[in-house]
Amino acid sequence: MAGQPTPEERLAELGLTVPDVVPPVAAYVPAIRSGQHVYTAGQLPMRDGALMATGKVGDTVSEEDAYACARQCALNAIAAIRSVAGGLEGVRIVKVVAFIASTPDFTGQPGIANGASQLFADVFGDAGVHARSAVGVPVLPLDAPVEVEVIAEVVG
């Protein structure tokens, strides 16, 4: 719609810049495009080459820190999407899966995943509203507390 800010403009309004694509930690690519869809690999909360936090939510990682980690995972996913989509115009977030390394008694995974979901909505507007799963797991790669993967559609 005319007059709506672009995803890049929304990022700037939020004081955010898209980081460099996080290099894989094993034998895979950060994102791949198949037709109109982009599938990201699981994105860890890497910032400036290091994990923002390690450990489990409900133990050594607070809910607030895990929410911030999910937000960083989403920002890293945006970088991966942009790298294969050629930009962010026309990107619609379709599905998000958030994995939260947590203690067996922690049940707040959906609230942690909101860190990613809210960022996608803030950046893409209505095109950022998506289906989602939030899954508690015992451990994630590199002892990260959160990992987020995304399926996006490139329209237009």
Lowest mean pLDDT among 16-30, 66-80, 138-152: 16-30
Is residue 16 situated within a structural domain? no
Contact 147, 99 (CB under 8 A): yes
CATH value at residue 48: 3.30.1330.40
The answer to whether residue 1 scores a pLDDT higher than 60 is no
Mean pLDDT score, 37-55: 97
- Total domains in the fold of the chain: 1
Check residues 3 and 43 and name the one with the higher pLDDT: 43
Is residue 67 situated within a structural domain? yes
pLDDT computed for residue 31 by the predictor: 98
pLDDT computed for residue 3 by the predictor: 76
pLDDT level of residue 2 (50, 70, 90 thresholds): low
Is residue 2 situated within a structural domain? no
Q: Round the average pLDDT of the chain to a whole number and report it.
A: 96
Is residue 40 situated within a structural domain? yes
Mean pLDDT score, 19-31: 94
Is residue 114 situated within a structural domain? yes
The answer to whether residue 137 scores a pLDDT higher than 90 is yes
The reported pTM is 0.96
Domain span at residue 71?
Answer: 30-154
Tens digits of residue pLDDT in 84-121 = 999 999 999 999 999 999 999 999 999 999 999 999 99
Is residue 22 situated within a structural domain? no
